[in-house]
Amino acid sequence: MPDGRSDPTLAGHDEVERGRIASDRFSRVDKQLVHQGAIIGFYETVIETSDGERFPRDLIRHPGAVAVVPIDGDEILLVQQYRAALDADLIEIPAGKRDVSDEPPIVTAHRELVEEVGMEAASMELLINVHHSPGFCDEYGHVFLATELRPVPHRREGPEEQAMSIHRLALAEAVEMCLDGRITDAKSMGGILAAARRLGV
């Protein structure tokens, strides 16, 4: 397809991922696609130990993601949105999938910031990288700090985004929400705590 979506599970796998340490005990020797969804692929894999023992593991292949910590003056902008896996709303930082092939993460981050919270950032810098759920999924995320914001019309897509709400609060309050359980989303917790450290909060 001309828009770069012909193989969505490969879009985010074109760079070396930080944090990976080559294993000298285990290696993946087989991988069979069970089902390919619109975004993610479900695989049955076989892992082999250095002693030759083999065992199965399920794997979800994901195109990767970006997330943004938007700081507007003294405030952080968070979104509250429905998450189908939990059948509940979560409070998170804006985020989105890397489902456009060859699009640099920082470009995706700018696009998601406009789509979800209606802001453009004059400054966008990488804060941290995250493996979201490495026990079963290879999703790898880039979390950015966005500052020098200006409002623009948002371009929300899909029913969850259409229904999301925006919360403005002090960054210190967002840190407290990470520590007391009001925010449980891993990428959001990592991004908020990293932003607080970067900004000296």
**Catalytic positions, written as ranges:** 161
Could you give the 3-state DSSP secondary structure of residue 60? strand
Start-to-end CA distance of the chain, whole Å, equals 45
- Collect all residues with Cβ–Cβ distance below 8 Å to 157 and sequence separation of at least 6: 115
- H helical segments located in the chain: 105-117, 158-163, 171-180, 186-199
| SS3 of 107-146 | HHHHHHHHHHHCEEEEEEEEEEEEECCCCCECCEEEEEEE
CB distance 102 to 94 below 8 Å: no
Alpha-carbon span 140 to 156, nearest angstrom:
23
